[in-house]
């Protein structure tokens, strides 16, 4: 089945220790997104890639970076995690085609704990 | 900026009851999406709406795209325990725009 896969599902890191979360997709979608979701809140968009074009949200801290080496994979790097970065991180994909239809499909998420 | 409101914020209902929740916006959207999120999982797309007035069903779920394009509602008929979760509405102006999420409606079903 075509899907969005996130690894690991649970990640524990120490305060200030860099961490990388990964996302892969078999949907061949051209757009990939990273969201941060804190408890009882809606997902908050951090950035997205449209093919190789990177689009950062204005309020995304510099501490968060992303890489998309190819269509299938996208990584979220947190350079110096703080306690406030503990959250669920969601990857999503969509296929932007001809200006219509842009449903986003989400992965299961990675729950990040910062000690 | 664009903002979505969802009501109610939470619901506790008896199994077998019908559920109705809605989503309103301060601005117009051209796409409305309804997602369900279970604890520890990512949101799952339930229904997508693309046209004002459109009514779409997916099993026991029915959603409508409001005629003003500023609202949408989701109905669940004959609720069952596995309907438990948080239901997010989301709106989008154009396909290349980011999706704006509502704050969610938490649904609990009492067996």
Full pLDDT tens readout for chain B, 111 residues:
668 999 999 999 999 999 999 999 999 998 999 999 999 899 999 999 999 999 999 999 999 999 999 999 999 999 999 999 999 999 988 766 788 899 999 999 999
Q: Classify each residue of B18-48 as buried b or exposed e, where b means 16 or more C-beta atoms within 10 Å of its C-beta.
A: ebebbbbbeeebbbbbbbbbeeebbbebbbb
Residue A104 contacts B where some CB pair is shorter than 8 Å: yes
Tokens of B46: 């339930």
A11 against A1, higher pLDDT: A11
Instruction: Report which of A92, A87, A91 is spatially closest to residue A111, judged by C-alpha positions.
Output: A87
pLDDT, tens digit (0-9, with 9 covering 90-100), for A47-98: 999 899 999 998 999 999 999 999 999 999 999 999 999 999 999 998 876 5
Are B43 and A99 in contact (CB < 8 Å)?
A: no
Residue B78 contacts A where some CB pair is shorter than 8 Å: no
Are B41 and A102 in contact (CB < 8 Å)?
A: no
Ordered DSSP codes for A63-93? TEEEE--SSSEEEEEESS--GGG-EEEEEEE
Residue B98 contacts A where some CB pair is shorter than 8 Å: yes
In this complex, the residue of A40, A102, A106 whose CB is nearest that of residue B43 is A106
Q: Region A101-110: what's the mean pLDDT?
A: 86
Are B40 and A103 in contact (CB < 8 Å)?
A: no
Are A42 and B48 in contact (CB < 8 Å)?
A: no
Are B88 and A42 in contact (CB < 8 Å)?
A: yes
Residue A108 contacts B where some CB pair is shorter than 8 Å: yes
Tokens of A92: 């999503």
């Amino acid at each position: 089945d075509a899907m969005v896969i996130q690894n690991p599902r649970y990640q524990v890191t120490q305060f200030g220790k860099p961490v990388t979360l990964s996302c892969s997709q078999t949907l061949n979608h051209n757009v990939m997104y990273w969201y941060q979701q804190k408890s009882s809140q809606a997902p908050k968009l951090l950035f997205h890639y449209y093919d190789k074009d990177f689009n950062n949200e204005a309020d995304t801290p510099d501490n968060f970076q992303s890489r998309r080496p190819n269509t299938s994979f996208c990584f979220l790097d947190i350079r110096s995690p703080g306690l406030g970065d503990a959250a669920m991180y969601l990857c999503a994909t969509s296929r932007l085609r001809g200006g219509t239809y842009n449903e986003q499909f989400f992965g299961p998420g990675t729950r990040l704990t910062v000690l | 900026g664009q903002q979505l409101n969802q009501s109610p914020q939470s619901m506790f209902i008896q199994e077998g009851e019908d559920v109705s929740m809605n989503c309103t916006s301060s601005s117009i959207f051209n796409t409305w999406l309804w997602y369900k999120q279970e604890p520890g999982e990512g949101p799952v797309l339930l229904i997508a709406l693309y046209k004002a007035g459109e009514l779409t069903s997916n099993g026991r779920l029915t959603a409508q795209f409001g005629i003003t394009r500023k609202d949408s509602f989701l109905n669940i008929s004959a609720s069952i325990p596995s309907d438990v979760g948080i239901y997010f509405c989301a709106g989008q102006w154009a396909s290349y725009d980011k999706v704006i999420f509502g704050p969610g409606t938490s649904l609990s079903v009492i067996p």
